[in-house]
Amino acid sequence: MKISFYGAAREVTGSCYLVESGGGTKVLVDCGMFQGCNTCDVKNYTNLYFEAKEIEAVFVTHAHLDHTGRLPKLYKDGFRGKIFGTAPTLRLAELVLLDAVHIMEDDLKREQRAMLYSREDVEQTVKHFVTVDYSRDAMVGDLIGRPRDAGHIFGSAFWELEDEQGKRATFSGDVGNYGSKILRPTAQLSPTDALIVESTYGNRVHEDESTRETKLREVVKRTIDQKGVLVIPAFAIDRTQQILFELNHLVEKGLLPEVPIYLDSPMAIKATEVVKDYPQYYNKEARELAASGDDLFDFPGLKLTASRDESKLINDAPRPKVIIAGSGMMNGGRIQHHLVRYLSDPNSTVLIVGYQAQGTLGRDLYEGKKLVDVLQEKVHVKAQIMTIGAYSAHADQAKLVQWVEEAAEKPKRIIVTHGEEGAAVALATRFQQHFDIPSQAPHFGDTIEV
């Protein structure tokens, strides 16, 4: 089996691995978009490094754009095979791709920027979606693919691929963090010849997740006391539902006074509906809570603002208020309209709850920049910038090591991807030293024989 790395090699985004089985079957694991870098456009628009027509199937790990965003380009270039994923992943992926094409349509109107693909390409792509439940087999040529629960976002999977020569490779996709209130934990690793594992936080350790809800409660309370505005840039999928779940708990248990909380993201509103449709994917506690009749993502004070007009009305609403809006890295979307208004207000707070890639506004704020560009305006940052790292949907180094530690049998080799250079190399070194397993961080275009 041969694996070539055409994305997420010593960088976080653009996940796309070509797998060629011993019997000559060609498939991809993920076909994601490059995001948040100066060279990303070039990388997204350039020709694929393989013949799209020859690819027989794609195994999708989860719905995030950096794992699904180039599927319609693959279709446009001639791919007509099956696209496998769990039911929630494929529902969410459709939302993600339609949102991406919507942004492209806007860019075309505003800057005459060519679209990477059309709405029609997205509509055709989703016709190739084939759902596979966790631990069920998906067969393509001489390959068998099996999705297992990755615990990263709703529906997320790591894929085990096996060819007729018995060679096995396991693709982690993104591995979840501890402490999700909704998701089940990451499933145990089965024996494998090669583990291809992400390293977004490969050189970092998250803070303890047990204090997360307390911190969230404190920041909302402080906002209320100061009559400020709390802006939470949230990723539409997962992070938003985690936060809604915790706010639901805090409000319904009387631990927080009622305060207007706006979910100002059409995508997040739709994603929450998808999550509500699949309670069988919840962990035990969440499933029991849902079965008891509680709506896990709705509570007094929550207002959903789907339309632009509703969104604009948030400006006029009296303080205090909480606004949850996308994009999660603050480099686009409705969040920017709120940031331009509230970043310079010392009584307001921006709460960072997820990974901020290099080159994004979120990263600038995270790193403490005091003057930033938002919507072509220079804005002085006087609002408090706060981070709760424990909301991360990604495993940290300790969890990734623990995952391998708890494997039924240690992988024969480990290939570290999906992390910035330093993180990927640090994690590979850690695996090598801790387990004495040959470990490496491939470069873009490298091919590895398993």
Shortest approach of Zn ion to residue 139 CB, angstroms? 26
Span from 43-51, 173-181, 320-328, 435-443 in contact with Zn ion (CB under 5 A): 173-181
Site for Zn ion, residues 61 to 120, rule: CB under 5 A: 64
Site for Zn ion, residues 314 to 333, rule: CB under 5 A: none
Span from 169-177, 183-191, 262-270, 352-360 in contact with Zn ion (CB under 5 A): 169-177
Pick between residue 64 and residue 73 the one whose CB is nearest to Zn ion: 64
Q: Which of 11, 27, 52, 55 is nearest to 169 (CA)?
A: 27
Pick between residue 66 and residue 364 the one whose CB is nearest to Zn ion: 66
Query: What is the pattern of x (binds Zn ion, CB under 5 A) and - over residues 352-391?
Result: ----------------------------------------
Span from 168-176, 209-217, 247-255, 263-271 in contact with Zn ion (CB under 5 A): 168-176
Shortest approach of Zn ion to residue 322 CB, angstroms? 25
Pick between residue 168 and residue 394 the one whose CB is nearest to Zn ion: 394
Site for Zn ion, residues 388 to 427, rule: CB under 5 A: none
The answer to whether 404 and 397 are in contact (CB under 8 A) is: no
The answer to whether 99 and 267 are in contact (CB under 8 A) is: yes
Pick between residue 67 and residue 334 the one whose CB is nearest to Zn ion: 67
Pick between residue 384 and residue 392 the one whose CB is nearest to Zn ion: 392
Shortest approach of Zn ion to residue 131 CB, angstroms? 19
Pick between residue 271 and residue 339 the one whose CB is nearest to Zn ion: 271
Pick between residue 69 and residue 72 the one whose CB is nearest to Zn ion: 69
Q: Which of 201, 154, 250 is nearest to 392 (CA)?
A: 201
Peptide bond before 411: cis, by omega within 30 degrees of 0?
no
The answer for residues whose C-beta is within 8 angstroms of residue 100's C-beta and 6 or more apart is 33, 65, 69, 122
Shortest approach of Zn ion to residue 437 CB, angstroms? 24
Shortest approach of Zn ion to residue 201 CB, angstroms? 12
Shortest approach of Zn ion to residue 236 CB, angstroms? 12
Rounded to 5°, the CA angle 143-157-163 comes to 15
Shortest approach of Zn ion to residue 381 CB, angstroms? 28
Span from 76-84, 172-180, 283-291, 421-429 in contact with Zn ion (CB under 5 A): 172-180
Containing 448, the helix (H) or strand (E) segment is: strand 447-449
State the Cα–Cα distance between residues 79 and 52, nearest whole angstrom. 5
DSSP line for 123-168: HHHHTTEEE--TT--EEETTEEEEEEE--SSTT-EEEEEE-TT--E
Pick between residue 174 and residue 396 the one whose CB is nearest to Zn ion: 174
Strand segments (E) across 11-119: 17-20, 26-29, 57-59, 82-85
Question: % helix / strand / coil in the chain, to the nearest 5?
Answer: 35, 20, 45
Question: Could you say whether residue 174 binds Zn ion (CB under 5 A)?
Answer: yes
Strand segments (E) across 356-444: 371-374, 377-380, 384-387, 413-417, 439-440
State the Cα–Cα distance between residues 32 and 29, nearest whole angstrom. 9
Pick between residue 64 and residue 128 the one whose CB is nearest to Zn ion: 64
Number of residues that bind Zn ion (CB under 5 A): 2
| Burial profile 262-294: b = 16 or more Cβ within 10 angstroms, e = fewer | bbbbbbbbbbbebbeeeeebbeeebbebbeeee
Shortest approach of Zn ion to residue 66 CB, angstroms? 7
The answer to whether 161 and 193 are in contact (CB under 8 A) is: no
State the Cα–Cα distance between residues 196 and 16, nearest whole angstrom. 12
Pick between residue 64 and residue 91 the one whose CB is nearest to Zn ion: 64
Which residue type occupies 137? D
Which residue type occupies 412? K
- Measured in degrees and rounded to the nearest 5, phi and psi for residue 342 equal -110, -10
Q: Quick one: DSSP state of residue 6?
A: -
Shortest approach of Zn ion to residue 358 CB, angstroms? 17
Span from 34-42, 104-112, 166-174, 333-341 in contact with Zn ion (CB under 5 A): 166-174
Query: What is the pattern of x (binds Zn ion, CB under 5 A) and - over residues 239-268?
Result: ------------------------------
User: How do 371-374 and 377-380 pair as beta strands?
Assistant: antiparallel
Query: What is the pattern of x (binds Zn ion, CB under 5 A) and - over residues 33-72?
Result: -------------------------------x--------
Shortest approach of Zn ion to residue 336 CB, angstroms? 22
Shortest approach of Zn ion to residue 295 CB, angstroms? 26
Span from 11-19, 160-168, 174-182, 288-296 in contact with Zn ion (CB under 5 A): 174-182
In angstroms, what CA-CA distances link 337 with 264, 342, 379? 11, 9, 12
Pick between residue 177 and residue 311 the one whose CB is nearest to Zn ion: 177
Residues that bind Zn ion (CB under 5 A): 64, 174
